[in-house]
Amino acid sequence: MPVPVVGRHEPPSAPARRDPVPPFDRREAAPPGDPRGSGAAFDPRDPTPPADRPPATPPADRREPAPAGREQPSPPEADEAEPVSAGSSRRTAERGTSRRRRGRTIIVLLAVLLLGGVAAGGAYTFFTWFATPDFEGTGVGDVVVQVEDGDSTTRIAGELAENGVVASAAAFTNAAEDDERIRGVQPGYYQLRRQMSGASAVALMLDPASRVGQLEIRGGVQLDDTSAPDGSVAPGVLSLISRATCVRRDGEEQCVSVDELRAAMSETDPATLGVPEWALEDVAEAEPRRRLEGLLLPGRYDVHPGSTAADVLKELLATSAARLEATGLVSGARSIGSSPYEVLTIASLVEKEAITPDMPQVARVIYNRLGAGRRLELDSMVNYPLDLQALRTTAEDRTRPGPYNSYVVTGLPPTPIAAAGREAIAAALEPAAGPWMYFVRCQADGTSCFAETYEEHDANVREARANGAF
């Protein structure tokens, strides 16, 4: 008796035609000739297999038989794919395309970010390496720099960079290019700070308060301070020099004192100090505390702050010697048969006694009296060692012994008595022609009246008193 096959149906070995299985219907088609029709499912519980079905060994699949009256789903054919609807296929394709687009977008964004990062890094590197080096802020500490005559803005910038004021010369020139005032910076010394931004350095250089070491000597000023009749004190050349040396160091002001300057003047060899050769002999014979009197031509000087007293004097004397040479003092003195030091001494007397228009005539009076062997009788000479700034003298002072008492001694004083300006030097080199032996300040504005005889002079004195000239 044939053994029924459970759970598996073998199709005919060579069917002429196979009908497709409808979607979602897994029932196995009935064998040909089956009275149930092709649409009925074959019941595996039927003990009578078709006549043409060979017996088969039960499969390893032990599935339970379907209950009576229930159709048994046919197992899917191994070589047939499950049908998919057209709409489902289109949606699946669209989802794939969308995913591919999103993937491409992400890749593009990543590339842009990567390139942007590279560009930013390149820009940072470029500006780090090639941007103008510059400090930030107003700087720290103190430093003094010198601007020399004829220095351009570029040269000044280089000097600042060398001294650590700015990070680079370009930092200064870039900050100064739109400020025309930088071209008006005068030669001299400037107190700045280290590690300043270019803009801060420009601003400080243009601030007048940053200028240091500036000294101005006026005609008629002597080395020591002088007192006026009203009790006021006028600073002398040494005091002016001392003030010019002041500089701020680590927040404290430092200056070369008057005593240090006087010691250097008195104790240092004149040649070492830079005294001009034409004045060396007379300077060596002069009283030490007065030996440099009159050797500094009136005008502006620049003193290097922080220098020693001796170095300050050397710098000033070197500058003044060149200026005195430029006035024609040396060559002019020799042309009239005098020494430059003698002419400079006469010029100092003229500077103290006369206003500029009267200088040539006053010089003539001095030459005439010297030529006649007469005492000069100049009040300015008497007051010089007394450090007095007055037009007249007292009877006591006129009798006081000393080389500067022109009422007692004959001839010129041993040194100049003040700084003589160019006009006074010119008058001493080329005095006016005339027979005058006397002069007196007869007008309130300083104008002098000249006389050949004492009687004329006495009349001029009375006029001067009437005019309130003294």
pLDDT in tens, 144-191: 999 999 999 999 999 999 999 999 999 999 999 989 999 889 999 999
Long-range CB contact pairs, 26-30, < 8 A, 24+: 26/73, 26/74, 26/75, 26/76, 27/71, 27/72, 27/73, 27/74, 28/72, 28/74, 28/75, 29/74
Q: What is the pTM (predicted TM-score) of this model?
A: 0.70
pLDDT of 392: 83
pLDDT of 249: 83
* Closest C-alpha among 412, 439, 435 to residue 343: 412
Confidence of residue 130 (pLDDT cuts 50, 70, 90): low
Architecture of the domain spanning 107-212: 2-Layer Sandwich (3.30)
Confidence of residue 229 (pLDDT cuts 50, 70, 90): confident
Separation of alpha carbons 188 and 303, rounded Å: 8
Query: Per this entry, what is the length of the chain?
Result: 470
> Dihedral angle at the C-alpha atoms of 451, 455, 457, 459, nearest 10 degrees?
-120
pLDDT of 233 higher than 70: yes
pLDDT of 101: 58
> For residues 31 and 350, which has the higher predicted lDDT (pLDDT)?
350
For residues 201-228, give the mean pLDDT.
95
pLDDT, mean over the chain: 82
pLDDT of 39: 44
pLDDT of 6: 37
> For residues 303 and 21, which has the higher predicted lDDT (pLDDT)?
303
pLDDT of 79 higher than 70: no
Q: What share of the chain in percent tops pLDDT 90?
A: 66
Confidence of residue 251 (pLDDT cuts 50, 70, 90): confident
pLDDT of 131: 74
pLDDT of 95: 55
Q: Per the structure block, which two tokens stand in for 385?
A: 């060692």
Task: Count CB-CB contacts under 10 A for residue 86.
Answer: 7
For residues 421-449, give the mean pLDDT.
97
Task: Count CB-CB contacts under 10 A for residue 172.
Answer: 31
Can you say whether the dihedral through the CA atoms of 306, 309, 314, 317 is positive or negative? Answer: positive
Q: What share of the chain in percent tops pLDDT 70?
A: 72
Residue pair 41/28 in contact (Cβ under 8 Å)? The answer is: yes
Tell me the helix, strand and coil percentages in the chain, rounded to 5.
Answer: 45, 10, 50
State phi, psi for 35 to the nearest 5 degrees. -65, -15
Separation of alpha carbons 72 and 68, rounded Å: 10
The residue with tokens 């007249």 is 392
pLDDT in tens, 316-332: 999 999 999 999 999 99
Q: Between 258-267 and 237-244, two packed helices, what is the crossing angle to 10 degrees?
A: 110
pLDDT of 281 higher than 80: yes
pLDDT of 380: 96
Ramachandran class of 131: left when φ > 0, alpha when ψ lies in -120 to 50, beta otherwise: beta
Q: CA separation (Å) from 184 to 161, 177, 193, 336?
A: 20, 13, 21, 42
For residues 78-100, give the mean pLDDT.
50
pLDDT of 17: 46
Residue pair 282/341 in contact (Cβ under 8 Å)? The answer is: yes
pLDDT in tens, 333-378: 999 999 999 999 999 999 999 999 999 999 999 999 999 999 999 9
pLDDT of 226: 96
H or E element at residue 249: strand 247-249
pLDDT of 252: 86
Side-chain half-sphere of 70: how many Cα atoms within 13 Å? 7
DSSP string, 118-147: HHHHHHHHHHHHHSPP---SS-EEEEEEEE
The DSSP bridge pattern shows strands 140-147 and 188-194 to be antiparallel
Q: CA separation (Å) from 139 to 144, 157, 178, 199?
A: 13, 16, 22, 11
Domain layout of the chain by residue ranges: 1-79, 107-212, 215-326, 329-467
pLDDT of 20 higher than 80: no
* Closest C-alpha among 443, 426, 449 to residue 365: 449
Residue pair 409/399 in contact (Cβ under 8 Å)? The answer is: no
> For residues 250 and 142, which has the higher predicted lDDT (pLDDT)?
142
Side-chain half-sphere of 126: how many Cα atoms within 13 Å? 6
